[in-house]
Structure 1
Amino acid sequence: MSNLQMETKRSQLPLESKGKVRWTVVFWLLVGGMINYFDRANLAIAAPEMMKELNLTNTDIGLLGTVFSWTYAMMQLPSGWLIDRFGTKRVYSIAVTWWSIATFLTGACNKMSTLIATRVLLGIGEAPCFPTSAKVTSYWFPKKERGLATGIWDSSSKWGPALAPPLLTMIMLAYGWRALFYVTGAIGIVFVLFFLVYYRNPEKSRRLSKEEMEYIRSDGAGAEHNIRDSKVKWRDLFKYRSVWGMILGFFCTIWTWNIFLTFLPLYLKETQHITLAQMGIYSSIPWIGGIIGNITGGYITKKMADKGLASPIAAKRAVICTSAILAAISIVFVPFVNSLGITVALLTMALGFISAITGSAWALAGDIAPASMVASVGAIQNFGGYFGGAFSPLATGMIADATGSYALAFISGGIIAGCAALCYGFIVKEPIEEPR
């Protein structure tokens, strides 16, 4: 390589990192995501007591999970467009308020029809959460750091279920299952008030130094981009091969993810014969593996990009494909072990690898999409995951009721998770280029 080429390549790289204000933004996204997942995970914790009081079956609990996921999936498409059109802060604040009210109302339900209605409302409200986080990350972080930043805030989807079992089980044992929904709903309202007062985009931040802003801007970040400024039409996003690879790959991931989210506590209780109090502890352990997987996967992609081992896109695809294969192996073995310790270990490993996929996949949206359409592409990917994955809780519940075992659900779920490697490895290739 000539000296001129080396200088040109060096000039295209982001400047050295300056300042840490951008990392405080990850805190807002992390806390918001944790609350989001508290409000999903509370159903899994409350399920045993709800089934007794309201005469619900495994299929009913699975149906509630499916109703939420399907609504959540369908609302991804308009939510991504709304975020790109009206801005992150406005849409996110409305969304948190909406889903918090839906959560609170769940505690007042006495029959299946009203439970279904509140799960629909919850799915509508929660849909903008993670597309907003992807968009905010594209404002605040250069591409080489987005994998790590996304891994941190996406770990919220594991912090929530990790903390929820012990905390919410204690509340349920003391005050009943309805209190879970009242408490988690109120927490969301408090959070959104603080978010409205303190969060700012980088161009409006008073704390951001000139040096850090220059660093952020060195790789295309630093300003809010509106979908009205894009030369790519929203509907045309579905014409791109990489977008379809993301849709199919995320479906393979979320299919298995939803099994864990809806049935993990019940699975441990029914197969390992643990008590309700023990369920709160053992159900949280696998999600700790998810947290580690999220952050580690993001860290690996950053290091690969820093050292020039791969482009930001290639680094994320490598982590996703490797994690998908390892997740498949871990999940398929779960039904074949009887020891509580080995079962929890395998579930922990599986969630660690699944989480490395989700974190890198959300970060990938910022690399594949034009700056003005990051939320839209991220939401479309999430739509693919939850539209298809919405049916896995229902299928799992039906399998458990029909066969008296979760084995078939875990074996098929592991195989499907492994297929994510094919989708991200062979279909997702190039970023979307704006027409000139």
Structure 2
Amino acid sequence: MVVDRGIINYLDRANLSIAAPEMMKELGLTATDIGLLGTVFSWSYALMQLPSGWLIDRFGTKKVYTIALIWWSGATMLTGAVHKMSTFIMSRVLLGVGEAPCFPTMAKITSYWFPKKERGLATGIWDSSSKWGPAIAPPLLVFLMVTFGWRALFYITGAIGIVFAIGFFIFYKNPDKSRKLSEMELEYIQSEGAGSEHSIQTSKIKWGELFKYRSVWGMILGFFCTIWIWNIFLVFLPLFLTNVHHVSLKELGIYAGIPWLGGIFGNIFGGYLTKKLVDKEITTPIKAKRALISISAISAAIVVCAVPFVTGLAMTLTLLTLALCFISAMTGSAWALAGDIAPPSMVASVGAIQNFGGYFGGAFSPVVAGIIVDTTGSYSLAFISGGLIAGCAALCYWFIVKNPIQE
């Protein structure tokens, strides 16, 4: 069920990139304007990470997530009704506020349902929802846009979110309240202190004291490097294919979704790989995730920097698919790492703080990329600089993130 919510989350983000070409034609927007809309979303999303993690840890996943999902679905529908840049900005700010609790909630739910050695794969599966959304979005949203117009994208995806919010509130249960688990399954889940919100003791560490820990700062800086390139892909991938490779609107529905399939594979295989390393007692859960993130960051840097130097559409799509595969392996392991680094009662808070660092700093990348494109008429510098920044994530996660928070 959390995978479904993640897909809805990213459908509501990806609709801007799909609608962008038509919005630019109808409303006279520039690439910088589209980048700015991506940036203001990221800033509001990042700032709200800090209180959302605390709210989730304080009031529980079910209440906070349901309210958030209804909020961001309403903001999505509002986007389809506006006509001015100022009101577009307001709607994207509201979207960022509403979407902020989504992934910290998923990290918290994972800590309830899975022992530590299982969380890498579980996180890889639910984090793949952030790639299923953009993968599904192009063919679905292009069809809706061609049939009903670009504004319909926002109305329909917003309405879908409200329906799923109601379903989540009705059907989601923590393990200790689930009737589908056997007693043996519940005992296995509870073997490392998981199982329910009540089984997790309150930490002696205050929320503000989390910023005193070296590993937390490594996660903040490392996720900034990761989300910088992630936001460029999320906002500009369809425009890049349209402007540079002259992909038509109907073809865009197919080609813009292909690279995200690599992201899905990277998420799930990365989680599976870290689980196997731990199962075979080759290394610890923390070291397995740090190593995977570091290797993937270096690989992503090489592939992304190579994108401007190829000309054919097939080779470009291959590199973009590989890049998203490595980037997604990084994001999945980073979210799983929050459950290893944080005390059990503060998983959502640490995950949200990491996400804050990623999106507050990474918020600059869409507008910077938009300025580069408008100024130079090329995407080359945006990809090369983004690739180099992504590579720096290896330094942060390998050399700074080392030890769990000790109470």
Bin for the TM-score computed over the shorter chain: over 0.9
- Determine the C-alpha separation between the residues in 1 that align with 2:187 and 2:297: 37
Q: Is the 8 A contact 1:91 1:128 kept in 2?
A: yes
Q: Is the 8 A contact 2:61 2:108 kept in 1?
A: yes
1:50 matches 2:32:
no
Residue among 369, 373, 377 paired with 1:400 = 373
Alignment of 1:4-153 (within 5 A): 28-153=1-126
Q: Per-residue deviation at 1:223?
A: 2.0
Residue among 240, 245, 252 paired with 1:279 = 252
Q: Which runs of 5+ in 1 are unaligned?
A: 1-27
1:288 match: 261
1:209 matches 2:182:
yes
Q: Is the 8 A contact 2:262 2:324 kept in 1?
A: yes
1:419 match: 392
Q: Is the 8 A contact 2:175 2:186 kept in 1?
A: yes
- Determine the C-alpha separation between the residues in 2 that align with 1:260 and 1:69: 14
1:315 matches 2:288:
yes
2:233 match: 260
1:198 match: 171
Q: Is the 8 A contact 1:72 1:386 kept in 2?
A: yes
Q: Per-residue deviation at 1:228?
A: 8.4
Residue among 327, 335, 357 paired with 1:384 = 357
1:328-358 Cα shifts (integer Å, max 9, x gaps): 0000000011000000000000000000000
1:140-169 Cα shifts (integer Å, max 9, x gaps): 000010000000000000000000001100
1:171-204 Cα shifts (integer Å, max 9, x gaps): 0011100000011000001101111111011121
SS of alignment partner, residue 218 of structure 1: helix
- Determine the C-alpha separation between the residues in 1 that align with 2:135 and 2:215: 33
Give TM-score scaled by structure 1 length: 0.92
- Determine the C-alpha separation between the residues in 1 that align with 2:344 and 2:198: 6
- Determine the C-alpha separation between the residues in 2 that align with 1:419 and 1:227: 35
1:21-61 Cα shifts (integer Å, max 9, x gaps): xxxxxxx1100000000000000000000011111000000
- Structure of greater Rg: 1
2:128 match: 155
1:300 matches 2:284:
no
1:298-330 Cα shifts (integer Å, max 9, x gaps): 000000010001111111111101100100000
Residue among 335, 341, 348 paired with 1:362 = 335
Q: Is the 8 A contact 2:47 2:356 kept in 1?
A: yes
Q: Is the 8 A contact 1:96 1:189 kept in 2?
A: yes
Residue among 191, 194, 197 paired with 1:221 = 194
2:321 match: 348
Residue among 332, 336, 351 paired with 2:305 = 332
- Determine the C-alpha separation between the residues in 1 that align with 2:74 and 2:261: 28
- Determine the C-alpha separation between the residues in 2 that align with 1:160 and 1:204: 30
One-letter amino acid of the structure 1 residue matched with residue 398 of structure 2: G
Q: Is the 8 A contact 1:73 1:382 kept in 2?
A: yes
- Determine the C-alpha separation between the residues in 1 that align with 2:279 and 2:190: 17
Q: Per-residue deviation at 1:226?
A: 9.1
1:432 matches 2:405:
yes
Q: Is the 8 A contact 1:87 1:226 kept in 2?
A: no
1:262-308 Cα shifts (integer Å, max 9, x gaps): 00000011110111111121100000000000000000000001000
- Determine the C-alpha separation between the residues in 1 that align with 2:64 and 2:182: 27
SS of alignment partner, residue 229 of structure 1: coil
- Determine the C-alpha separation between the residues in 2 that align with 1:226 and 1:200: 15
- Determine the C-alpha separation between the residues in 2 that align with 1:210 and 1:260: 45
Q: Is the 8 A contact 1:305 1:315 kept in 2?
A: yes
SS of alignment partner, residue 206 of structure 1: coil
1:240 matches 2:223:
no
1:22 match: none
Q: Is the 8 A contact 2:194 2:200 kept in 1?
A: no
- Determine the C-alpha separation between the residues in 1 that align with 2:403 and 2:17: 39
1:349-407 Cα shifts (integer Å, max 9, x gaps): 00000000000000000000000000000000000000000010000000000000010
One-letter amino acid of the structure 1 residue matched with residue 131 of structure 2: K
**CA separation of 1:40 and 1:401: change in aligned 2, threshold 3 A:** same
Give TM-score scaled by structure 2 length: 0.99
- Determine the C-alpha separation between the residues in 1 that align with 2:38 and 2:240: 15
**CA separation of 1:337 and 1:426: change in aligned 2, threshold 3 A:** same
Q: Per-residue deviation at 1:220?
A: 2.0
1:16 match: none
One-letter amino acid of the structure 1 residue matched with residue 234 of structure 2: L
Q: Per-residue deviation at 1:225?
A: 5.4
SS of alignment partner, residue 419 of structure 1: helix
Q: Is the 8 A contact 1:290 1:355 kept in 2?
A: yes
RMSD across aligned positions (CA)? 1.0
- Determine the C-alpha separation between the residues in 2 that align with 1:227 and 1:251: 30
Q: Which runs of 5+ in 2 are unaligned?
A: none
Q: Is the 8 A contact 1:46 1:172 kept in 2?
A: yes
1:178 match: 151
